[in-house]
Each structure stands twice: as C-alpha cells, then as structure tokens.
Amino acid sequence: MLKEKTPHAIYGGIGLEKPYTSIIVAWDKTETHNEFIKSSDYPILGERLVPLLANPKNPGLEMFHAHYDSDPTALFDAPITEFAIATVKSGVSTEEAHATIESIAKKVGTVPGIVGAVVGKIEEAPDRFVMVVGRKTRQDGTSEDSYSLADGKVDFTVEWAQFTKKQ
C-alpha cells in the first residue's frame, strides 16, 4: 500500500535496547504524507501496523517528520542506526543548538567505524532535532562521548536500531 503512495525508500527496524519497532518512510514532502493520512487507505494500514509498532509497556505510536540537512539513506542502510533526539535547553536559541548539533555530527562522522551522521529538524517540535548516525557495529565508534560537546545547550536521548529496506 505504501509503495503506491511514495516511490522512495521504506525501512523497517527493531530497537536494540528497548522493545520497539520503527518504520522510516521517505516522502517528497510532509503534505504528501498528510494527504495519505486523510485517505481511506490510512485506517486500513493503521489497523495492520499499529499492533506491530506498539511498545508493550507504552502502547501507541510516535510519529514525526524530520527534514535533514543531507540525505540520510546510507545511515539507514548501515548495520546499526543510532538516533539521538536533541532537545534544546531553555534559554538557548534553536539556531545555536542546531549549530552545536551540526558540529557534533561532523565530529562523529569522522570516527572509525561510523558510516556517517546527519542532522534533521523535527517539524512538529521546533525545539527538537534528530541526529542519525550509521554504524558498522554497535561497538564501533564513540558518538556517545561526543554528546558531551553539547556544552549544556541540548539534552540527548539516544536509541539504536537495525533496519531492513522494504522498498
């Protein structure tokens, strides 16, 4: 069903440390996704997917739209994908936080064992960003150490997943 709605990549994955399932769907633009949500196909897809996505301890679905500074596809193709959700701390401008997170991503992207790192703005939450890091193995790289470079400007929540390309 999604294949008919977007010609772009779709990934399915599982969390490595927490019980969750993720689906990454690339859309041309948010409006295209919103049109799909309003369509008669969306409830049908939801009935099929929501039980698969629900965390047994916290049933439900978290969805957000991220707009990346560069193409993150290679990072979802990596054996391990790390997601660092950065929340801007009070008193810090989003511009300053974005620059800080970009700097961290550039540093992380040069670490041996890291495929790359990109930063995206979360559309629904202007005070949140997502940094996606591709890893060759869970043990490779030291991106966690790099989060200390945030210098109190953002708080990071980090999760790891393994994805498979579905389309």
Residue 20 CA to residue 47 CA, distance in Å, equals: 17
pLDDT tens, 89-128?
Answer: 999 999 999 999 999 999 999 888 899 999 999 999 999 9
Residues 6+ apart with CB under 8 A from 150: 86, 100, 101, 104, 156
Walk me through the domains of the chain, giving residue ranges and CATH numbers.
2-53 (no CATH), 66-165 (3.30.70.100)
pLDDT tens, 54-91?
Answer: 555 555 667 889 999 899 999 999 999 999 999 999 99
Full-model pTM: 0.85
DSSP conformation class of 9: -
